[in-house]
Amino acid sequence: MNDDTALIARLERLAAALERLAAPAPVEPDFDAAEAFIWHPEREGFDPVGRVNRVSLDLLKGLENVAPQLAENTERFARGLPANNALLWGARGMGKSSLVKAVHADVRARLQKDLRAQGTDLKLVEIHREDIASLPRCLGHLRRSGHRFIVFCDDLSFDKEDTSYKSLKAVLEGGIEGRPDNVIFYATSNRRHLMPREMMENERSTAINPSEAVEEKVSLSDRFGLWLGFHNCSQDDFLAMVRGYAAHYRLKIRDEELVREALEWSIGRGARSGRVAWQFTQALAGRLGKRLEP
């Protein structure tokens, strides 16, 4: 009897030790906690974002050709209508990620009454490039929610020996489950085809059927039904960006002085882009002692 008691006690201690070693059960995400979240695959969790780092849509100058297309696609998705995954590609610093965040806020605000009537909301979920392989697990959580989600990956690209793009292909189109009806995928990239040229050429030189190997790489971009190109801006577009920021934040400076300083700043940076315009605005506001309030 004593031996049985001792054995039971040991088993109980062993069971308790195993429970301590076991990973905690994943917490069911609360998607009502915020309008935006960041996916963390190592703990199967979504961190709510208290305030999204973005600018309003009307401050994004030089995007008149692409902004309406993304806004229309997003609005259709928010209304439960068919919409396409979107790839925003092109020049650095020209507002690709800023446009995604601004369009999300704009559409969500305009459709707020309709969304509430349907008992749903339009959420933004960011997934980091290095976590793309976990995208199917992320979508598994989103699939069970009644909300609609824009899953956003900034600066998406794939390097040599990287096979995680296959998970993305299956999710976007072609897998058994595919993309949930309440999820759409937006990505930004400096590359139109997401793969470096040398990677494609290496596949061509080593493959049994070179053309099929290259098509396998290029077909990833084909999974995005909406392609939006961003190109280097002109001087007029750059100055429109600077003037827009100066007016919005009420920076007290004469226009000719603003233009001169902005052009000097862009020459010093060796580039004209939305990012350079914003960096100049920050420097100017700091010099003028003006806070850039949201």
DSSP string, 237-284: HHHHHHHHHHHHTT----HHHHHHHHHHHHHHHT--SHHHHHHHHHHH
Which residues, listed in sequence order, are joined to residue 39 by a DSSP beta bridge? 46
pTM, two decimal places: 0.81
pLDDT in tens, 142-196: 999 999 999 999 988 777 666 667 777 777 765 556 688 999 999 999 877 776 6
pLDDT in tens, 98-128: 999 999 999 999 999 999 998 999 999 999 9
Which CA distances in Å does 43 have to 49, 128, 171, 242?
17, 14, 21, 42
Spans in the chain with pLDDT lower than 50:
1, 199-200, 203-204, 207-209
Dihedral of the alpha carbons of 38, 50, 70, 146, in degrees to the nearest 10: 70
